[in-house]
Structure 1
């Protein structure tokens, strides 16, 4: 629309998503995949290339695999690994045998973790499939992949448009933007840590105030040879150099920035880097830069009537470990199918409320995880003493495995009813007899009743009446011969499972997640023998 005052018809959109970052785009993709009319409103005129999170965790990689996006993520990782290799070739310490050097497996509070101490036999690492090999996907690159996906799915995106206000009632939301007013059934605030949607809707946002000042940037440096590679602690702070050319990060512990919103200048970055490193360096150009703090807050609920929050709009914290990006992707995967079912009128009572119930505890854990890192990064004698203890623990196989599992998110599960060990967990990536993997059967975003041949001939009949809400796949499994059947939600989490012909609990699980069966429809069945 060219006329900024023109009104859009009230029935044009089921959902308006505020924000076209990774969370907003992922949510829009999930909604569009489920046949929901969605509009994304983004204030920035172009995709944000500001340096932010540098990697995705296991649940995010698995989610992308389940939607057919893993090859695109792997291509990004390959390009980034080439940059990292080039950086290490130039900046790694003399004498380092790079071929045999231990694999970097992440960090906690800047203390590195190495793969040679990782117990890879731990069952929590098993069955990720190819997703377990993809992680180095920076946020800006991820956003471009999701933008391409959203475009392919027909998502409408308004760029350079401000969300100015909204009025919500029992029937929907009237959203006022700088391009006009739209009427939608729902409004999803994915508009970042300073969310306009959260503020205007009046969500409670308790937490702890910021106490540090951090910078992250990609710059051109003179005197870079005086900087150590990787995470470095000093008497005046912490800095990071690498793992690709020009990337720096600094942390100062003498309070939050005076003006969080001021543009980040080369002078500011140079002053901070000189202070914490003690090196005679000069920042000659800034390609991308951001300023951050350890402000840690979380909305008490992620839903108020017709308004929902996801990603940084629902929770903020320090960026260490890149947990915020992954929390947002998880929020979008959890919310998307539930909101779409609500829009289509097929959701059972209370389904949308399970979004907060399932995602809030994981967000709360991340806030505590990031606060703990700040506590052992401080420069006080007590904090440094605790840091020494943590470093010793991290230098053991048990310690490394514990920390890597937490960072990768392989521990994440939802508290769902049922006694089977898989219930509530993200499904393992089963290898099927026809050469396909379980993830290949989840690209369409449908729920899946997987008949592995040992649950009896009546299993597919249980999905009768759910139409295309629950798709039945009959297969043989070569990787998990003990499993008889699984019911997967659209996000890939196990709602029900059995190792025998006992189907007790299946009907209850179908009703809990997908509502009442309709006599007019039947599930479509796919053979994958």
Structure 2
């Protein structure tokens, strides 16, 4: 199978030794998270980033619950907490969130369609919000900080990041992919496009990318301004759009409903931001300096599939939408967590048939939900009379415990689950972080990216032994009465099986998600990891494109 491309070369097709198992185009959150996950799973990785330096533009500033849990399970929660504590605007923001001026972290912070939600309105009796665990200590971390943490992890694990290298084309065949770049070709087993909303990989591979056209132009900036002293603080709706004013940090966001910009490729300027502020707020603003500025629209699209042969998409390359709530960052990290262990298992040759196809099956519905969630916010923010009447209704609901709790749960992602087979209510959900009798927590045992089997009774030891290279068995009992007797957790932290320790029912799930067990279960995980063949492409036929 070949894919149309530009600047590709057949002289580097099948038969050339691979330079690495996986090439990732793009060193944003999706690409860097994926690089770390692949290295954890034993695959060799080269990340190609066309930018020579990290993009300094201020982007998303929050992480949702599933992604904080992902960082936690990989031992990165201390780094997130440190980043949050060291960020001046975050400390300032937190201090302004409490009437007494303290910087206590609110249980929840967010907005729907520029309608702020109050954490004081949340129903603390809701089972999805009950209790506190380590991930609750983190919420406000810049995307730039997230990228720095993920880049450091990827480098420590041995991923190679090449900056200033642009993908210009590729050819795929039954054995791999030859990636053409402006600095020469690279031969690999798989290519993953994590190269943003205007993804070169997606366009070259001709993925279908349907969606809805933009109707807004938004600006998000950190700027020096005069003439805005009388603007209200926080989110406000006007006759021409909505705006966010955050004076302590010089942060301002405007959203105008006058269509997309005529030239979306031209960088935004101080003059553009100044005109937008005047148009949306009515203030006679003057922008005297720019520290960060980005322009955005509500162009909303999603690839119909995330895989074509040996080429896959993740993050904004697979789905684009307006940035409200930082859902793009969170969706991107989730894509990488889901894909990483599956692609690594495919590279190793241990993946069961169809495992890689579950990536699209599981992540596409969540991406579709995010697109509709942001479309709904655009509808509520419109300045026409019908939308403004609807906005008042939504605002009233947000001021009730039920309404605020519903919106907070949706924004925070605590509701997210995968549609997996199994009768136990935990199947398909993010695994609870049980405190264990040995003083550890369940997440403490997931740093190496292996699956987990919680087996306090020891009844499943014999069944689990042949999977020691890809699954860790925990015998310490949970310190709670509501935990199942046994629990099988996938490498990404989602429950694949739970219930009584029945080898018959568990055996099917182990083979479904982990594949064929070791022929010699006495072989240790350390010996398997040290085997250099695990980092190479499997023999022809093991990984079907």
Name the TM tier (shorter chain).
Answer: over 0.9
- Decide whether the 8 Å contact of 1:472 with 1:523 is kept in 2: no
1:289-328 to 2 correspondences below 5 Å: 289-328=293-332
Which of the residues 28, 42, 47 maps onto 1:35?
A: 42
Say yes or no: does 1:389 pair with 2:393: yes
CA distance in 2, matches of 1:38, 1:329: 17
Q: Secondary structure at the match of 1:226?
A: coil
Question: Over aligned residues, Cα RMSD in angstroms?
Answer: 2.4
Q: Which residue of 2 aligns with 1:24?
A: 31
Q: Which residue of 2 aligns with 1:468?
A: 469
Which of the residues 383, 388, 399 maps onto 1:379?
A: 383
1:408-419 to 2 correspondences below 5 Å: 408-419=412-423
Q: Secondary structure at the match of 2:324?
A: coil
Say yes or no: does 1:184 pair with 2:188: yes
Q: Which residue of 2 aligns with 1:69?
A: 76
CA distance in 1, matches of 2:248, 2:466: 54
Give 1:65 shift.
Answer: 0.1
Q: Which residue of 2 aligns with 1:54?
A: 61
CA distance in 2, matches of 1:323, 1:24: 16
| Runs of 4+ more than 4 Å apart | 5-9, 95-104, 522-526
Which of the residues 204, 211, 233 maps onto 1:229?
A: 233
Give 1:86 shift.
Answer: 3.9
- Decide whether the 8 Å contact of 1:301 with 1:356 is kept in 2: yes
Deviations 1:211-268 (A, max 9, x none): 1000111111223422221111111211111275021111000111111111111111
Deviations 1:355-396 (A, max 9, x none): 000000000000000000000100011101111111111111
Q: Secondary structure at the match of 2:21?
A: strand
Residues 230 and 186 of structure 1: is their aligned pair in 2 closer, same or farther, counting only changes over 3 Å?
same
Q: Secondary structure at the match of 2:185?
A: strand
Q: Which residue of 1 aligns with 2:435?
A: 431
More divergent stretch after superposition (470-479 vs 398-407): 470-479
CA distance in 2, matches of 1:85, 1:491: 31
- Decide whether the 8 Å contact of 2:420 with 2:428 is kept in 1: yes
Which of the residues 159, 163, 169 maps onto 1:159?
A: 163
Q: Secondary structure at the match of 2:466?
A: coil
Residues 414 and 55 of structure 1: is their aligned pair in 2 closer, same or farther, counting only changes over 3 Å?
same
Q: Which runs of 5+ in 1 are unaligned?
A: none
Give 1:128 shift.
Answer: 6.6
CA distance in 1, matches of 2:332, 2:460: 35
CA distance in 1, matches of 2:222, 2:205: 36
CA distance in 1, matches of 2:29, 2:255: 25
- Decide whether the 8 Å contact of 2:94 with 2:103 is kept in 1: no
Give 1:99 shift.
Answer: 5.6
Q: Secondary structure at the match of 2:475?
A: strand
- Decide whether the 8 Å contact of 2:320 with 2:328 is kept in 1: yes
Q: Secondary structure at the match of 1:140?
A: helix
Residues 196 and 127 of structure 1: is their aligned pair in 2 closer, same or farther, counting only changes over 3 Å?
farther
CA distance in 2, matches of 1:96, 1:442: 39
- Decide whether the 8 Å contact of 1:293 with 1:318 is kept in 2: yes
Say yes or no: does 1:407 pair with 2:411: yes
- Decide whether the 8 Å contact of 1:449 with 1:471 is kept in 2: yes
Which of the residues 119, 129, 136 maps onto 1:132?
A: 136
Give 1:522 shift.
Answer: 4.3
CA distance in 1, matches of 2:336, 2:220: 26
The TM-score normalised by the length of structure 1 is 0.93
1:265-276 to 2 correspondences below 5 Å: 265-276=269-280
Aligned residues: 514
More divergent stretch after superposition (7-16 vs 403-412): 7-16
Residues 196 and 59 of structure 1: is their aligned pair in 2 closer, same or farther, counting only changes over 3 Å?
same
- Decide whether the 8 Å contact of 2:12 with 2:187 is kept in 1: no
- Decide whether the 8 Å contact of 1:19 with 1:41 is kept in 2: yes
- Decide whether the 8 Å contact of 2:420 with 2:496 is kept in 1: yes
- Decide whether the 8 Å contact of 1:236 with 1:379 is kept in 2: yes
Which of the residues 156, 169, 177 maps onto 1:173?
A: 177
- Decide whether the 8 Å contact of 2:85 with 2:91 is kept in 1: no
CA distance in 1, matches of 2:100, 2:239: 29
Q: Secondary structure at the match of 1:59?
A: helix
CA distance in 1, matches of 2:92, 2:336: 35
- Decide whether the 8 Å contact of 2:193 with 2:311 is kept in 1: yes
Give 1:446 shift.
Answer: 0.3
Residues 96 and 472 of structure 1: is their aligned pair in 2 closer, same or farther, counting only changes over 3 Å?
closer
Residues 426 and 98 of structure 1: is their aligned pair in 2 closer, same or farther, counting only changes over 3 Å?
same
Give 1:421 shift.
Answer: 1.0
Give 1:102 shift.
Answer: 11
